[in-house]
Amino acid sequence: MAMTGVLRPGHAQLRVLDLEESVRFYTDIFGLVETGRDDSGRVYFKCHNERDHHSIILRQAERAGMDFYGFKVLDDATLAKLERDLNDYGVPTERIPAGDLLETGERVRFVAPTGHTFELYAHKSDVGDGLGYENPHVIIDGRKGISPLRMDHWQIHGSDLDGSRDLFINVLGFSLVEKIVTEDGKTDIACWLSCSNKAHDIAFVRDERDDTLHHAAYLLESWEHVLKAADLMTLYDVSVDIGPLRHGITRGTTVYAFDPSGNRFETFCGGYNFYPDMKPYIWTEDQMGTAVFYHTRELNERFLTVVT
């Protein structure tokens, strides 16, 4: 599959209530690598296997949640084209200068109909994955904690699901992979979209609470690593929402838990490969429990109600 437009989720800025407590959590328990701090006090992290400078930025705030979500695009020409396409679609954009985020080039920012702030960018410094680019080894020694491979996707909530879904498909080139529909089949309750050949890069859920985060998801290597993540969560008294178990949608295996500020995160692996010629899977509302949690076949109250 030739990827010539939006490549992948690239970064997100997360609001935390106690910055240093959160730094300790994401370093020692979650197992990310700190890559820098800027003059405004923000702290930058990447996963061990990621090569770009950062994928998560922590910011001290009075309430938890996510400030913005960034997607990396192929090059400057792609960035300029997508900015024009957004404007032609009626979406205002703002250019954020290079250097506003550490080691990151110019960004094009816009607000989706669900109220979430997104940005596109083409450049971020390559700091490598610790293996080198010549005769690399296959493992990174000394990894701490859960140590995910990469930041993988987000599930976010807002009222105008249709508007955000259509914007991502019609302008940014995403594909619809799976969705849950109401009993009459006329309304999407949730949809999973991909800009790659992953089962999803972002999910939108219909919710009256605009601009809210359900979870940020991080990829692990195997089901055994998901189980180890659950063990570590118990060892370090991390608040677990649900899991380990399997999704019906995407077929991934998962544990959901909360960071010290109450932001939900997912550690998962698996899922199927998607290609743009594939028809989307459709789940009906009466099977929503099985769609989300295939083994228990029901949704717990926290999973349905808690967002930041």
**139: Cα within 13 Å, side-chain hemisphere:** 4
54 as an active site residue: the answer is: no
Q: What is the 3-state secondary structure (H, E, C) of 94-156?
A: EEECCCCCCCECCEEEEECCCCCEEEEECCECECCCCCCCCCCCCCCCCCCCCCCCEEEEEEE
Give me the sheet containing 150-158, strands edge to edge.
239-246, 252-258, 264-270, 212-219, 150-158, 202-206, 188-194, 175-181, 281-284
Task: Evaluate whether the domain defined by 150-305 bears CATH number 3.10.180.10.
Answer: yes
Q: Is there a contact between 154 and 106 (Cβ–Cβ < 8 Å)?
A: no
Starting at the edge strand that comes first in sequence, how are the strands of the sheet with 43-46 ordered?
33-37, 43-46, 56-60, 6-16, 65-73, 117-121, 107-111, 94-96
Q: Are 12 and 68 in contact (CB under 8 A)?
A: yes
Nearest-angstrom CA–CA distance, 17 and 27? 16
Q: Is 153 a catalytic residue?
A: yes
Q: What is the pLDDT of residues 138-193, one digit of tens each?
A: 888 888 999 999 999 999 999 999 999 999 999 999 999 999 999 988 899 999 99
What are 75-103's pLDDT values in tens digits?
999 999 999 999 999 999 999 999 999 99
- Three-state SS at 197: coil
Residues of the chain with CATH 3.10.180.10: 6-121, 150-305
Identified catalytic residue from 83, 215, 218, 225:
215
1 pLDDT higher than 90: no
Q: What is the pLDDT of residues 28-43, one digit of tens each?
A: 999 999 999 999 999 9
Mean pLDDT of all residues belonging to the chain: 95
In the numeric block, which tokens belong to residue 174? Answer: 């995403």
The backbone region for 243, taken as left when phi is positive above 0, alpha when psi lies in -120 to 50, beta otherwise, is left
The continuous run of DSSP H or E covering 226 comes out as helix 223-235
Q: What is the pLDDT of residue 243?
A: 87
CA Rg, the chain, in Å? 19
Q: Which is it for the CA torsion 225, 231, 234, 237, positive or negative?
A: negative
pLDDT of residue 304: 84
215 in active site: yes
pLDDT in the model for residue 140: 82
Question: What is the percent of the chain where pLDDT is above 90?
Answer: 86
CA 5 vs. chain centroid, Å, equals 18
Q: Give the pLDDT of residue 2.
A: 62
Q: Which CATH architecture has domain 6-121?
A: Roll (3.10)
Set 26, 44, 256, 281: catalytic member = 256
- Among the listed residues 11, 53, 153, 225, the single catalytic one is 153
**CA atoms in the 13 A half-sphere facing the CB of 167:** 24
What is the average per-residue pLDDT within 38-58?
Answer: 97
Quote the percentage of the chain above a pLDDT of 70: 99
| Phi and psi, residue 88, nearest 5° | -65, -30
Active site residue 247: yes
pLDDT tens per residue across span 255-296: 999 999 999 999 999 989 999 899 999 999 999 989 999 999
Cα 115 to the center of its chain, rounded Å: 16
Can you give the pTM of this predicted structure? 0.96
Considering 50, 119, 178, 266, which one is annotated as catalytic? 266
The per-residue pLDDT for range 191-237, each reduced to its tens digit, is 999 999 999 999 999 999 999 999 999 999 999 999 999 999 999 99
User: Residues 11, 157, 200, 214: which is the catalytic one?
Assistant: 200
